[in-house]
Amino acid sequence: MHATYQVEELAGETPVSRHIVIANTPWEAAIGTKKEVQARRDERLWVRVTEESNRAVHKYAFK
């Protein structure tokens, strides 16, 4: 089942890009950045994926 996600690349807390992605999971939406990602710990460069339907937020970091 596809969902709509807002995908933001951030440097610290500053957004550097933002786009909308339709994907099956938040992970697939994060992979849409065309960069390798992993679960976020406290990295400076990271990806915030927000599910549009329920505003759930998922955080990933670049490898």
Q: What is the pLDDT of residues 5-55, one digit of tens each?
A: 999 999 999 999 999 999 999 999 999 888 889 999 889 999 999 999 999
CA gap 24, 12 in Å, rounded: 27
pTM (two decimals): 0.89
- Res 5: pLDDT: 97
- Res 35: pLDDT: 85
- Res 6: pLDDT: 97
- Res 1: pLDDT: 79
61 and 39 Cβ atoms separated by less than 8 Å: yes
Strand, helix or coil for residue 28: helix
- Res 49: pLDDT: 97
